Structures are given as structure tokens and as C-alpha cells.
Amino acid sequence: MKRSFLVTSFFVAFLPFSLLSAEPSAFGAGDLSNPKPYGLTTGEEVVLQNKKNLRKVVLTTNDQASKVDSLRERIDGLQTIIEGLSRKSQENKFRLKQLEDKNTKQLLDSNEYEKRLSEVTQTNSENIKNLTSTLSELSLLLDNINKTYVTKDDFNSLVNEFNKFKSLVVKELKKTSAVTKSTFGSKSNAQIAKDSYAYYKKKYYTKAIKGYNYLIDKNYKPAYSHYMIGEMKYRRKNYAEAIAYFKKSASLYSKASYMPYLMLHAARSMQLTGDNKNAKSFYKAIIAKYAGSSQAKSAKKYLSLMK
């Protein structure tokens, strides 16, 4: 009986420790900070799930923030490239404008040079012809000298004839100078320019051309004077002469306000004289350099009719 009581007492005393050793993890139930929580209530499970969702949202947000920063860096880089390209574009436009101006002037100078070369060639041909004739005459003279001789009286006669010819030339030059002075009197260059323009407006082209030629001799606004004579030659349909005056005017001052008119009428004159190649070049230059102007519109019209 005593032994039975002791066994029973031991069992009762030992039972709590047995239960604790059989379920040692019972103290961790409901611990949401545990990496693997268990024994959760419904509310705790919702909280745990919310924590998981929140963690995912945080990770996603951080990832998106990182991507946004990366995109911003790329955008900044692209903006820098675009600004560089914009500056480069402006520089290219400026250089293109310079090339257009240079090409226009070179084209005018080239045509003027060709005309002058043609004139010099023609003059040289005439000089060669005259020299050939003179050499023939000298040969005959030498033959005569070899056959006979010149007396002192004959020589003096020749000298007198030469002096008479010389005096006649001097008188003719004085006469020409007197006519010029009587035409313009003591007028100033500015007044002559004003009068010449008035003649031009009234279509008294002969008087106007005489006035502008006088101003060219006096080197008074030679670029404008050449342009005005070119305009009158153009209106009289003397296109070849008009081209020569237009080229001279442009070579003297290529930035004049009347350049669009000059280039258009020069191009038209070239077209009407059969020089279609240079006419097309001038029309294209007018369209590029004076875009939007009435001269550019006319150039487009004439150019389209040439195609």
C-alpha cells in the first residue's frame, strides 16, 4: 500500500515535466517574428500574410526605384547627346550658308573670268592679225629701203605728217572731254546719280546709261552703277551685255540689297542666251539663299519650265 502510494506520487510529480519534454516547441506558437511561425490564429495568419505582401511590395518598389534611377541616367545621357546634336546642326547650317555665299560669288567670278578670257583671246587674235599685217608691210618697206634710200627731206616730211596726226588726236580728245563737261556741267556725282535714276524711271535709257557710265569712270558707287546699266540692257533685251554688267556689279559688292533682282535677271539672261547650265545654277542659288522671296518664287517657276 505504501509502495503504491509512492509510485502514484512520483507519477503525479513527474507528469508535468514529461509533457514539457514531449512538446518543447509549444512556447514558440504564435510568434510572428519566427522564420517559420506555427500555431497561428486566423488574425495572426492575416497579419503574417500582410507582412509577406508588404515585404514583396517593398522589394518591388525598391526594384522600380532602381529602374527609375537608371532610366533617369539614360534620359540625362540622351539629353546631353541631343543638345550636342542640336549645336552641331546649327554649326552645319551656318557652314552651309557660308558655302552657299562662297559658291555664289565663285560662280559669278568664274563667269566673269571666262568672259574676260574670251575678250582677251579675241583681242590677242586681232593684235596678232594686225601684227602680221604690219610685219608684211615692214617687209615690203625693208625691200624698198634695200632698193633705194630715204632722203632727209622725205624723213622730215614723214615727221611732219606724224605731228599733224598727233595734233588731230589731241584735238579729238579735247573735244570729247568738252562734250562730257557740257553734258554734266558742274553737277556733283550724287546729283548725276539722282538724275540718271530719274531718266531710268522714265525709260530714257540712253541718257541714264550715259550718266551711270560717267559715274563708273568717276568710281562713284561703281557696283550700283553697273547693276543699273545691266538692268537697262536687260530691259532692252541685250542679254549678253546685261550679264557682263551684272557679273561686274556682283564682283564689286555681293551683299547689296538688290542682289536677288540681279541674280534673277542674270539667270534669266543666261537662259535666254542658251546658257541653261549656269541659268539652272543661279535659279537654285536664288531658291536656297532667298527662300520665301518673290524672286525665289519666280526662280522656281523658270526652273520648273526648264525640266
**What is the C-alpha to C-alpha distance for residues 297 and 284, in angstroms, rounded to an integer?**
11
Q: What is the pLDDT of residue 132?
A: 62
The domains of the chain are located at 34-124, 151-186, 189-307
Nearest to 244 by CA among 99, 103, 118: 118
Contact 263, 285 (CB under 8 A): yes
Q: What is the pLDDT of residue 171?
A: 58
Question: How many CB atoms neighbour CB 34 within 10 A?
Answer: 12
pLDDT in tens, 217-253: 999 999 999 999 999 999 999 999 999 999 999 999 9
Contact 279, 268 (CB under 8 A): yes
Check residues 286 and 120 and name the one with the higher pLDDT: 286
pLDDT in tens, 244-295: 999 999 999 989 999 999 999 999 999 999 999 999 999 999 999 999 999 9
pLDDT in tens, 72-99: 787 777 778 878 777 877 887 888 788 7
Q: Say which CATH class 189-307 falls into.
A: mainly alpha
Instruction: Name the band, by pLDDT with cuts 50, 70 and 90, for residue 137.
Output: low
